[in-house]
Amino acid sequence: MTAATVKETWWRYRYWVAAVLTVCYSVQYFDRISMGVVASSMMKDLGLTYAQYGARPWL
């Protein structure tokens, strides 16, 4: 394996990782946006208060 081949492989993986991270960040961002839109109707359907909606049961 030559130095040029190693450098070429490194760049290819770097852009692939950057693309995967961008997709993951986008999914997380749109999930947060959508929860803000549906929060009021979800709280009404489930009978939750603002405190119950904001509570983290895993803590």
DSSP state of 57: T
pLDDT at 40 over 60: yes
pLDDT in tens, 41-55: 989 999 989 898 888
pLDDT in tens, 10-35: 667 888 899 999 999 999 999 889 88
pTM beyond cutoff 0.75: no
**Alpha helices for 1-59 (secondary structure H):** 3-46, 50-54
Give the confidence band of 7 by pLDDT, cuts at 50, 70, 90. Answer: low
What CA–CA distance (Å, rounded) separates 12 from 7? 9
